Amino acid sequence: MELEFDPLLLRSLNLFLLVSFAFLLVKIWKKIETYFHKPTPKLPPGPTKLPLIGNIHNLHNLVVGGGLAHHVFGDLAKKYGLLMHLQLGEISTVVVSSAKLAKEILATHHPSFAGRPANLATRIIGMSKKISLLLLMEEISKLAESIIQSSGGSPGGVLVNLTHKLFEYSSSVICRAAFGRICKDKDTMIKRVKIALALVGGFNLADVFPSLKFLPIITGLKHKLLEAHHKIDEILDDVVKQHIENHEIGRKGNAESGDEDLIDVLLRLQQETSTDLQIPIRTRNIKALILDMFTGGTESTAVTIQWALSELMRHPGVMKKAQAQVRQVCKRKKIIEDDDIQNLKYLKMVIQETIRLHTPAPLIPRASRENREINGYMIPNKTQVIVNAWAIARDPEYWDEPEKFKPERFENKSFDYMGTQSEYIPFGTGRRMCPGVTFGLASVELSLAHLLYHFDWRLPDGMMPNDLDMDEVDGLVVGRKTDLQLIATPYHDFPDD
Ligand code: HEM
CATH of the domain at 456: 1.10.630.10
310 or 150: whose pLDDT is higher? 310
Tally the domains of the chain. Answer: 1
Which residue, 413, 493, 452, is CA-closest to 322? 452
Give the Cα separation of 390 and 358 in Å (integer): 7
Instruction: Give the amino acid at 18.
Output: L
Does residue 111 have a pLDDT over 80? no
Does residue 127 have a pLDDT over 80? no
Q: Helix/strand/coil (H, E, C) string of 11-29?
A: HHHHHHHHHHHHHHHHHHH
Choose the weakest-confidence range: 34-38, 253-257, 434-438. 34-38
Q: What is the mean pLDDT of residues 263-289?
A: 76
Ligand 1 atom 21: the closest Cα is on which residue?
434
Mean pLDDT of the chain: 85
Instruction: Give the amino acid at 357.
Output: L
Does residue 158 have a pLDDT over 70? yes
426 lines ligand 1 (CB under 6 A): yes
105 near 82, Cβ under 8 Å?
A: no
Give the Cα separation of 69 and 440 in Å (integer): 24
Atom number of ligand 1 nearest to Cα 429: 16
Ligand 1 atom 3: the closest Cα is on which residue?
300
418 lines ligand 1 (CB under 6 A): no
pTM of the model: 0.86
Q: What is the mean pLDDT of residues 115-121?
A: 53
Does residue 478 have a pLDDT over 90? yes
- What is the phi/psi pair of residue 15, to 5°? -60, -40
293 lines ligand 1 (CB under 6 A): yes
Q: What is the mean pLDDT of residues 116-136?
A: 59
Atom number of ligand 1 nearest to Cα 430: 16
Give the Cα separation of 54 and 209 in Å (integer): 11
Residue 324 lies in a domain: yes
Ligand 1 atom 7: the closest Cα is on which residue?
427
Residue 29 lies in a domain: no
Query: What pLDDT, on the 0 to 100 scale, is given for residue 24?
Result: 83
Query: What pLDDT, on the 0 to 100 scale, is given for residue 124?
Result: 57
Q: How many CA atoms lie within 13 A of 162 on its CB side?
A: 29
β 384-388/91-96 pair status: parallel
Does residue 305 have a pLDDT over 80? yes
Strands (E), 380-490: 384-388, 455-458, 472-473, 479-480, 485-490
Give the Cα separation of 179 and 243 in Å (integer): 9
Query: What pLDDT, on the 0 to 100 scale, is given for residue 397?
Result: 93
Residue 248 lies in a domain: yes
Q: Rounded to the nearest whole angstrom, what is the distance from the C-alpha of residue 77 to the centroid of ligand 1?
A: 25
265 lines ligand 1 (CB under 6 A): no
Q: What is the DSSP letter of 183?
A: -
175 is in an annotated binding site: no
Choose the weakest-confidence range: 105-119, 154-168, 322-336, 423-437. 105-119
Query: What pLDDT, on the 0 to 100 scale, is given for residue 496?
Result: 61
Write the CB contacts of 359 (distance below 8 Å, at least 6 apart in sequence).
70, 389, 390, 393, 426, 478
Cβ count near 60 (within 10 Å):
10
Q: Rounded to the nearest whole angstrom, what is the distance from the C-alpha of residue 160 to the centroid of ligand 1?
A: 28
Q: Rounded to the nearest whole angstrom, what is the distance from the C-alpha of residue 437 to the centroid of ligand 1?
A: 7
364 lines ligand 1 (CB under 6 A): yes
User: In a mutational test of the pocket of ligand 1, which residue from 292, 352, 386, 434 has the highest number of ligand atoms less than 8 Å from its CB?
Assistant: 434
Atom number of ligand 1 nearest to Cα 298: 27
Q: What is the mean pLDDT of residues 34-51?
A: 79
Give the Cα separation of 360 and 428 in Å (integer): 11
Residue 332 lies in a domain: yes
Q: Rounded to the nearest whole angstrom, what is the distance from the C-alpha of residue 297 to the centroid of ligand 1?
A: 7
Does residue 374 have a pLDDT over 80? yes
Q: What is the mean pLDDT of residues 331-343?
A: 87
355 near 304, Cβ under 8 Å?
A: yes
Q: Mind listing the pLDDT tens digit for each residue in 426-444?
A: 999 887 889 889 889 999 9
Give the Cα separation of 247 and 240 in Å (integer): 11
- What is the phi/psi pair of residue 137, to 5°? -55, -50
Atom number of ligand 1 nearest to Cα 304: 1
Ligand 1 atom 41: the closest Cα is on which residue?
118
Cα dist from 365 to 38, 271, 368, 384, 428, whole Å: 32, 32, 10, 7, 10
Residues in the chain: 497
- What is the phi/psi pair of residue 414, to 5°? -95, 75
Query: What pLDDT, on the 0 to 100 scale, is given for residue 117?
Result: 43
Element (H, E) at 496: none
Ligand 1 atom 1: the closest Cα is on which residue?
301
Ligand 1 atom 34: the closest Cα is on which residue?
296
Residue 411 lies in a domain: yes
390 near 359, Cβ under 8 Å?
A: yes
Instruction: Give this complex's ipTM.
Output: 0.98
Q: Rounded to the nearest whole angstrom, what is the distance from the C-alpha of residue 459 to the centroid of ligand 1?
A: 31
451 lines ligand 1 (CB under 6 A): no
Write the CB contacts of 250 (distance below 8 Å, at least 6 apart in sequence).
none
CA 310-473-96 angle, 5° bins: 105
Element (H, E) at 219: none
Write the CB contacts of 199 (distance below 8 Å, at least 6 apart in sequence).
221, 224, 225, 228
Ligand 1 atom 43: the closest Cα is on which residue?
434
Query: What pLDDT, on the 0 to 100 scale, is given for residue 126?
Result: 59
Element (H, E) at 155: none
Domain range for residue 128? 44-490
Does residue 259 have a pLDDT over 80? no
Residue 316 lies in a domain: yes
456 pLDDT tier (thresholds 50, 70, 90): very high
* C-alpha dihedral, 334 to 407 to 319 to 443, nearest 10°: 30
Residue 10 lies in a domain: no
Ligand 1 atom 33: the closest Cα is on which residue?
296
What are the residues facing 96 on neighbouring strands?
Answer: 83, 387
Does residue 306 have a pLDDT over 60? yes
Give the Cα separation of 407 and 155 in Å (integer): 31
Q: Mind listing the pLDDT tens digit for each residue in 193-216?
A: 777 777 776 667 777 777 777 777
Query: What pLDDT, on the 0 to 100 scale, is given for residue 164?
Result: 92
- What is the phi/psi pair of residue 199, to 5°? -70, -40
Residue 26 lies in a domain: no
